[in-house]
Amino acid sequence: MKEKVQEALNKVRPFLQRDGGDVELIDVTNDGEVKVRLKGACGGCPSAQITLKQGIERVLKQEVPEVKRVTPV
């Protein structure tokens, strides 16, 4: 599942990089939790939580149905 998650993150990565940010995959747990770290401009952005939930989490759940939640670390 980790490989599928990484592939899905690679689809959203260009949008984050366009705004000076990025996302790093930290871990994927057996219960479907994906742990990520927002980097660059995304790390301190006031809209980071919206980006995480409405952007990254939404795409990951569509691409990898086993994903239950995305958690920032």
- Residue 47: the pLDDT is 85
In which band, very low, low, confident or very high, does the pLDDT at 48 lie, cut at 50, 70 and 90?
confident
- Report the mean per-residue pLDDT for the chain: 93
pTM of the model: 0.90
Domain ranges of the chain: 2-72
Half-sphere exposure of residue 45: CA atoms within 13 angstroms, side-chain side: 19
Structural tokens at position 40 = 């660059």
Architecture of domain 2-72: 2-Layer Sandwich (3.30)
Average pLDDT over residues 17-26: 93
Average pLDDT over residues 25-44: 93
- Residue 42: the pLDDT is 85
